[in-house]
A and B are shown apart, each in its own frame.
Chain A
Amino acid sequence: MVLLKPKKLNKLIKNFTINFGPQHPAAHGVLRLLIELSGEVVLNVTPHIGLLHRGTEKLVEYKTYLQALPYFDRLDYVSMMSQEHTYCLVIEKLLNLQIPKRSKFIRTIFSELTRVLNHLLAIGCHAMDVGAMTPMLWVFEEREKLMEFYERVSGARMHSVYFRPGGIIHDIPKGLLNDIFLFINQFRTKLLEIELLLNNNRIWVQRLVNIGIISKIDCQNWGFSGVMLRGSGICWDIRKSEPYEIYSSLKFTIPVGKNGDCYDRYLIRIYEIKQSLVIIEQCLQQIPGGLIKQDNLKIIPPFKNEFKLSMEALIHHFKIYTNGFNVPITEAYLSTEAPKGEFGIYLLSDNSNKPYRCKIRAPGFAHLQALNFMCKYHMIADVVTIIGTQDIVFGEIDR
């Protein structure tokens, strides 16, 4: 009998690669992941993106500034107005436009409503991926109420092209601010219900604590922004550090996490929803009356009743909607605190009515890149948790 030497007993083992395909309920859109596994432990995760690439940056170069605005709604399709907001702010910076105070307040109210919309969906879908199926249904009901505000103000539930360079398109209808106030009052109870279900739930805590921990230095190395940075303890919010609109005069606090795991980020999102409600209430109290459009008729179209009576207003209306306005040769990069992180637009203009180059910096792009780093040595189920906590939406990653 020949005994086999230990060297001959070694076999070559290849890791098992599975395809977490583009069509998957937990893949948050179209995400294709190739996961290399050793047993249940993840060794390597390779994301394949580009399945929702619509060529937005190239298309924007062929459209005038106003015609390119609806593309930005469709980038991050769960928090629509925040990208429109960034685009309008960049154009106003290039043209050196000042917008009236009432416009700024209305924009801030809708920006914060958009933040509530986005965080509700993030928490609801994250909960459903992890296994808690009820919060998603509650969350979608609240989102419907918020989308009713969008519809009242612009006509469209989701992709309202309401923010325009120079302010907003029309003033808010009568009674909307009252209804927003009533919504906030009943919403606090609903948020409390979600918190009661999830916060101290043993399963939720076990699935989220100590998963996807990322340190401060790694966060900065991977270019994180928004909730991902704050979850690891870095106190950075663009609304506080580079304030835009009226954020410098509003009082709100920023939550910062300690451990940098998924549970901290979940708690930060809940706290941010509450802070958004505080901001909206302050805006509701302080909003001034007045016009929402400036007089600059070369860039901002006139009101409807004006151009039906005045020849100059009609000519300006015609020229703005066909030709558009010309922007001198400048460039600007501006970023705002979108609900998912730092959403930035780098806009270059030559002296014409179309942008020369519009580069869109999506927060999810940097977050998804670090998925491999965050998922190492976790299990497959944790990959789903980490995708949910990064709040990935493919519209903005693939553009």
Chain B
Amino acid sequence: MFIGFNKINNTVPVLKIEACFNIICIYLKSIILLNIVRVLKYHFKYKFQILTCISGIDYIEHKNRFIITYEILSLKFNNRLRLKIIVNESIAIQSLKLLYLTAIWWEDEIWDMFGIIFLKRNNLIRLLTDYGFQGFPLKKDFPLSGFVDIKYSLITNKIQYNNIELTQNYRIFNYQSPWC
């Protein structure tokens, strides 16, 4: 169940507030993210000391393609909050490394999977994909089978990367009935 307040940005510096299944979700502008999270972490009434996770979502049809979601948790008040920023491929987001040290690997994973750059992070590394992998897997235009095929060749004793050759096109079965 969504309840949304769209015209809230006259009073507070947020774009939109939604409430969904008793968790509040706040849409922010990416410029003021660091300041708002700093307030949320240290203010005595909020105390969101733990950053649970950072996830990225790709909406390929929208103009601003990506949404980055931050889940924060307050142990003292037993409360969770979700913060969202809407970005596209050319916007770099402020890193939360100074506030939450755990944000380092979560941001690395978002760089690895979506290609979104974070500021003041001088070593965004590819965590989950192969060494020397090109492309950003979790974007919706990256195919499920990928582009390269890896084999270990016993003759040269090296790993070979070939272009992928599928004998059959990847089929997506969509059984959704047209009248439902």
> Per-residue CB proximity of B19-63 to A under 8 Å, as 1/0?
011010000000000000000000000000111110101100000
Does A369 contact B78, Cβ atoms closer than 8 Å?
A: no
Question: Nearest B residue to A397 by beta-carbon distance?
Answer: B128
* Cα(A59)–Cα(B82), bound, Å: 25
Closest-CB distance, B115 to chain A (whole angstroms):
15
Q: List residues of chain B with CB within 8 A of the CB of A59.
A: 144
Does any Cβ of B come within 8 Å of A290's Cβ? no
A373 to B102, CA, bound (A): 11
Chain B interfacial residues counted at CB < 8 A? 39
Q: Which of B79-104 contact A (CB under 8 A)?
A: 80, 82, 100-102, 104
Known: A57-B138, A369-B105. A323 touches B78 (CB 8 A): no
Contacting residue for A220 out of B50, B104, B105, B172, CB 8 A: B50
- Whether, in the assembled complex, B64 has its beta carbon less than 8 Å from a beta carbon of chain A, the answer is no
A369 and B176 contacting across the interface, CB-CB below 8 Å: no
- Given known contacts A49-B128, A55-B137, is B78 in contact with A359 (CB within 8 Å)? no
Contacting residue for A223 out of B102, B138, B176, CB 8 A = B102
Interface residue A93 (Cβ < 8 Å from any Cβ of B): yes
For A310-333 the 0/1 string (1 means CB < 8 A from B) is 000000000100111010001111
B21 touches A93 (CB 8 A): yes
Interface of A is mostly: mixed
Q: Are B176 and A352 in contact (CB under 8 A)?
A: yes
Shortest Cβ gap from A56 to chain B (Å):
10
Question: Are A50 and B100 in contact, CB atoms less than 8 angstroms apart?
Answer: no
Question: Is B179 interfacial (CB 8 A cutoff)?
Answer: no
Q: How many residues of A contact B (CB 8 A)?
A: 45
In angstroms, how far is the closest chain A Cβ from the Cβ of B148?
A: 13
Q: Does A242 lie at the interface of the complex (its beta carbon under 8 Å from any beta carbon of B)?
A: yes
Contact A369 B102 (CB under 8 A): yes
| Chain A residue contacts of B55, Cβ below 8 A | 346, 357, 359, 361
| A50 adjacent to B144 (CB under 8 Å) | no
Check if A348 is an interface residue, CB within 8 A of chain B: yes
Q: Are A330 and B138 in contact (CB under 8 A)?
A: no
Given A323-B175, A369-B105: A223 touches B128 (CB 8 Å cut-off): no
Known contacts A50-B129, A223-B52, A352-B176; A330 and B105 CB within 8 A of each other: no
Q: Which of A234, A330, A346 contacts B69 (CB 8 A)?
A: A346
Which residues on A sit within 8 Å (CB–CB) of B126?
Answer: 50
**Contact residues of A with B, CB < 8 Å?**
49-50, 53, 55, 57-59, 62, 93, 220-223, 225, 234, 236, 241-242, 319, 322-324, 326, 330-333, 335, 342, 344, 346, 348, 352-353, 356-357, 359, 361, 365-366, 369-370, 373, 398-399
4 more CB-based (< 8 A) A-B contacts, given A220-B49, A398-B128:
A49-B128, A221-B101, A330-B20, A353-B176
- Listed in ascending order, the chain B residues whose CB lies under 8 Å from chain A are 1-2, 20-21, 23, 49-53, 55, 57-58, 69, 71, 75, 78, 80, 82, 100-102, 104-106, 126-130, 137-138, 142, 144, 172, 175-177, 180
